[in-house]
Amino acid sequence: MEIIVASSVGILTAGGVYLILRLRTFPVILGLALLSYAVNVFLFASGRLAIDQSPILSKYGEATYTDPLPQALVLTAIVISFGMTAVLVMIGLGAFLEADSDKIDIEAEDDSKEVQP
């Protein structure tokens, strides 16, 4: 079970980094979403991967339980990442409508414009 979760975190991270390095707006937004999913799965897995166990201590003396703090952190992170993705989509849409392209232009500084003595 742990190897599946660890490999899924790695695959999500690799896909997110690959998409962030693209020169288009939409893949960058998808890459950020994949990275946030990878962080959410990592945080969720840090609370112990346990099956059929209660999230809190039981009054019947059950010694094993799942930590509820990572679950609350993941729930909060999901809401924040949804809001952040919505804002980024609106910024990207505005840039697309203004420039008629979603290409991210990274222009190198032109050295020929310097004043020669």
**Which residue ranges make up each domain of the chain?**
2-49+66-106
Q: Return the number of other C-beta atoms located less than 10 Å from residue 44's C-beta.
A: 17
Q: Model pTM greater than 0.75?
A: no
Nearest 5°: the CA angle 104, 110, 115 is 150
Query: In the CATH hierarchy, which fold is given to the domain comprising 2-49+66-106?
Result: Helix Hairpins (1.10.287)
pLDDT in single tens digits along all 117 residues of the chain: 789 989 999 999 999 999 999 888 889 999 999 999 999 999 888 877 667 666 666 676 666 666 778 888 889 999 999 999 999 999 889 888 888 888 777 665 555 555 555
| Alpha carbon distances (Å) from 113 to 105, 108, 110, 116 | 19, 12, 6, 9
Residue 8 pLDDT: 93
